[in-house]
Amino acid sequence: MSSISNPLLFIFLLHLLSIFFTTYSQSHPHPLDPLNPAEINLLRTIINDSYPNSTFHYVGLEEPPKSTILSWLKNSSHTNPNRQSFVIARINKTTHEITVDLTRRRIVSDRIYDGYGYPTLTFAEQTAANQLPFQHAPFLDSIRSRGLEIEETGCMGLGVGWFGEKKRSKRIVRVICYYLEGSVNFYLRPIEGITFTVDLDEMKITGFIDRQIVPVPKSDGTDYRESEQVPPFPSRLRGIAMLQPHRPNFEITGHNIRWANWDFHLSFDARAGPIISLASIYDTDKQRYRRVLYRGFVSEMFVPYMDLSEDWYYRAFLDAGEFGYGMCGVALVPNRDCPENAVFIDAYLAAENGMPVLMPNTFCVFEKYGGDIMWRHTETSFPGQPIREVRPEMTLVVRMVSTVGNYDYINDWEFKQSGSILIKVGLTGLLEVTGSKFTHKDQIKEEVYGTLLAQNTIGSYHDHFITYHLDLDVDGDANSFVKSKLQSTTVNHHNSPRKSYWTVISETAKTEADARIKLGLDEANLLVINPNKKTNMGNFIGYRLIPGSISNPLLSYDDYLQIRAAFTNYNVWVTPYNKSEKWAGGLYADQSRGDDTLASWSLRNRKIENKDIVVWYTMGFHHVPYQEDFPMMPTLTNGFELRPANFFDRNPMLKVKSPQHVKFTNCSC
């Protein structure tokens, strides 16, 4: 075949190929791909044909059964399974769970939910509720009586939780307000004492209380915009660049990403945000890919505040279930949120009316190198002939930022060539503060539930607990969970002058109750093993769960907040795989009562040994605010690691060569 010598013809052919593959991927999507705009439009049309006044609260992929996916993977030339979507809609003030078969273009399941709890709040109804106060005469009078301007006031709705009520309550939110006065820092200027109750189904105010007048915190020093900062400034650092003149080392095909020895699928969900699926690593000794993780994502986030006052006691959020962790995803800023070598990926979600909405730059994917070392050794035993071997470490990062109200959560999935996956969350943004009469700490003689950060401004004590759903398939889907304790042992014989040593005592969890772990009580290695496969040395193939810094709930188990969030009572749970058990806080988190959570499922105490199992891991932050967190909080990061444990027969990075060194000449920048 002759080569193409005309560059314009070559570019034209590449363009045609690009169109072909884009069209093909949309018409033949991977079974785990998120819904594309055409599919969202189709399901909206199908549902509206039956229910013209539907309000769409959740729209996502109804993923095929795991057995179907695994069968398809073995022979992807087979016909793709039918594409289906799962929709939670409000129709005539009733919650419907609707499954739409997009391939056959019809509704295949329509169930009315009449239990406790309500679906995720939509952006449209939150916006409408936040506007109601400005048509309410008593509110306008309250603002004027405080000497404030109504034009500088903004409001925001909050979930109300549950505090032991027996009867099923209406869909309501409590609306609180803030004062701008030329500032963009909405959250640091609360107007304390004013609270509305809004019925979302009726979209009307059903309650208004004005309890007290507390000074609104001053706006001085709260503006965080770079353009508004005034001297003096710290010394400006010279620039650092991450350049890849020969293009990145990863390939993105549709939603599949391949880099170094990793291959995985990335999708988007309105509730979970990023979902990593089918993560497999190539074993050079065995000459094949071996699966590590079938599906991993943020299942729920619990953020309780410690202020007991009337305007605060109910503030305990289940962010994924109430507001949508993915729905709150924001566009990433090139060269700021992500380095210059990043590639950006868009996402789509369904609006309240079911129309597809483009979310640009939702994900970024980039290779990271910051001078880290993969492995090294200097051998000095040979005089005059030192041996130095060093391998620099490059990793691949998938990032999304979710801004849930005042907080920005930076979500990273970082893949290492060694086989490790680092999962990290960084907290930044603005604190939730309460207005106060105090201007100096010496004035405070009572409990204020927080730290005085500035005049009339108290940063409230609170927690962040983030629970991950980790369906590990360690070289197969039949796995077991092993807790290996490090046990200190006294030496009682005279064969050694030593008095003590420690050894490893391993215990395989047989039921769900055996696997519940509250970390920090003792030293332990936590492993998911494949009991049906061994290394050449006879060790079970496995992966370790290595926690980061550990925080456990401090609320009492009978506190209504903790009843709803009982899935945080343990850092680690293990359950048998069940497709319907995805959301640790329950499918309906708004006003939930804790009757449909990971903690309640696990009471069945099912068998988990040599089964297809799911590990649930909760990382936590106890946040005591400090003045450095004001007015903008520097990022605080926590995370954990999934690390090979006898998965390979030896260090899989022994033969890895260092990346090519790139020389930049005549550069005076």
Active site residues: 319, 407
Whole-number Cα distances in Å, 644 to 79, 105, 392, 451, 651 = 34, 44, 19, 42, 10
Pairing state between β 462-472 and 84-91: unpaired
| Cα–Cα dist 353/47, whole Å | 11
The structure tokens listed for 334 are: 């090139």
> By the 8 A CB rule, do 527 and 544 touch?
yes
State the virtual CA torsion across 324, 99, 50, 349 in degrees, nearest 10.
30
Whole-number Cα distances in Å, 205 to 128, 132, 160, 248 = 11, 7, 15, 54
Q: What is the DSSP string of 512-568?
A: HHHH-B-TTSS-EEEEEEEEEEE-TTSPEEEEEEEE-S-----S-TTSHHHHHTGGG
Amino acid identity, position 74:
K
- Of the candidates 366, 369, 328, which has an alpha carbon nearest to the alpha carbon of residue 347? 328
- Any residues with CB less than 8 A from the CB of 587 and at least 6 apart, and which? 88, 117, 321, 596
The structure tokens listed for 391 are: 């391998």
State the virtual CA torsion across 517, 520, 522, 524 in degrees, nearest 10.
60
| Cα–Cα dist 380/337, whole Å | 43
The structure tokens listed for 7 are: 């560059």
Tell me which DSSP letter residue 337 carries: T
Q: Is 94 exposed, middle or buried (0-12, 13-18, 19+ CB in 10 A)?
A: exposed
96 CB neighbour count, 10 Å cutoff = 22
| Cα–Cα dist 491/502, whole Å | 10
| Cα–Cα dist 349/35, whole Å | 8
Whole-number Cα distances in Å, 455 to 191, 216, 419, 565, 603 = 15, 10, 50, 34, 48
- Any residues with CB less than 8 A from the CB of 291 and at least 6 apart, and which? 278, 279, 280, 473, 474, 475, 476
| Cα–Cα dist 542/647, whole Å | 5
- Any residues with CB less than 8 A from the CB of 180 and at least 6 apart, and which? 152, 153, 154, 186, 189, 219
Amino acid identity, position 501:
Y
- Any residues with CB less than 8 A from the CB of 42 and at least 6 apart, and which? 100, 102, 105
How many residues does this entry show for the chain?
A: 669
